[in-house]
Structure 1
Amino acid sequence: MLKRVDIVGNPNLGVFILATDDLAIVPYNLIDEKVEIIKETLEVDAVKSSISGSSLIGSLAVANSNGLVVSPHVLDREIKQFEDLGLNVATVPGRYTALGNIIAANDNGAIVSPFLSEDAINIIEETLDVNVKATSMIGSDIIGSLIQVTNKGFLISSKAVQSEVRLAQEVFGVEGDIGTVGKGIPLVGACSIANSNGAIVAKDSTGPEMARVEEALGFLDDDF
């Protein structure tokens, strides 16, 4: 299922919300009506929480079906909540706390910013149980903001060149394509949330953008 909805009052859905194939983690202040849209579209349970006391959940954490990596400033009560949900949780050391902005991952692989330390990369590999490729893409280190990836496909910024698309295909093990959301926004990871069941994109996304998202994330064969 694919929807364009104003969830958080601005296009940056992926900054506030984290989704896997099993779960969506949303801010405490997100109204129940919006939570229900997320649950219905992504076909998951949703829990309200925070990361480091902040509502910027999607910026401060990254997850796949195997685990959750979070900012080193995560609170003990937050870790306990996630572990009680059955998640394998690990903190990533270093001064780069906005992990969601600098890591893109699915169940097959992860691409991370090259300034992450070897210790940080090892923790990401172990917790998410994936191989990690550290590299800049599109001349930028904010990998997580530039890519929306699931276990069925990926959408990467329209500024990506073909070699970068091929690299993403190799790392993530799925097909994908370039595109934008929200009427030309290239930060597709920051401005959408998605899993294998569905996606929600910025409300101003155009028809052609929606069609590209649908194809890139592998929803064309789904029965809508």
Structure 2
Amino acid sequence: MDYVLTIMKPMLEGAKMTILLFFIALIVSIPLGFLLTLAVRSRIKPVSVLAQVFITVIRGTPLLLQLLFFVFGLPMIPVVGEYLVMDRFVAATLAFILNYAAYFAEIFRGGLLAIDKGQYEAAQVLGLNRWQTTTKIVLPQMFRIALPAVANESVTLVKDTALLYAVAVPELLHFAQTAVNRDFTIFPYFLAGVIYLAITLLLTFFFKWLEKRFKYE
């Protein structure tokens, strides 16, 4: 029991870093993803093409590679590299935000495509302008359709935070590995797994509650 308490304190400190990254990335990447969706659907061709290229590149390359690029690669860019040096946590958070924004953009695009065209026609018949149609009819339906996929990505985000270990940001897995190396026991891995599981279960219950609430509205 004493050993559990000894390793629990640093691991909970690491869990705070994990949770902080999760909330920052989720809160910023969801609206950014929606803006990317709008950019892809824009009638301004360069905007649409640039947004689609960004989404394709981000979704087509590993998150780990993006993390390494933002943490270690940016400062190595000729001329401007010295101005792109950031705290490792900040650089990693930026990589997570851009990565998940690209995935959320595709989720929201699918949600918009799933809305029947008759909904837009009905809005015109009711005399709603474009803003009213978007905020009162399109967005609520899109969010309801996209919610299960958003929930899935959010759970994946919690688990992906373990990649911070690869760029030497002291999060939960970092402290678990330190304890394993020091004490020659795999118990810290088990404890880290329990903490990750607890976080993902709480998140899953929250999204299940949210889905039920939207289902009956």
Select the structure that is richer in helix.
2
User: TM-score interval w.r.t. the shorter chain?
Assistant: under 0.3
TM-score normalised by length of structure 2:
0.22
Select the structure that is richer in strand.
1
Bigger Rg, structure 1 or 2: 2
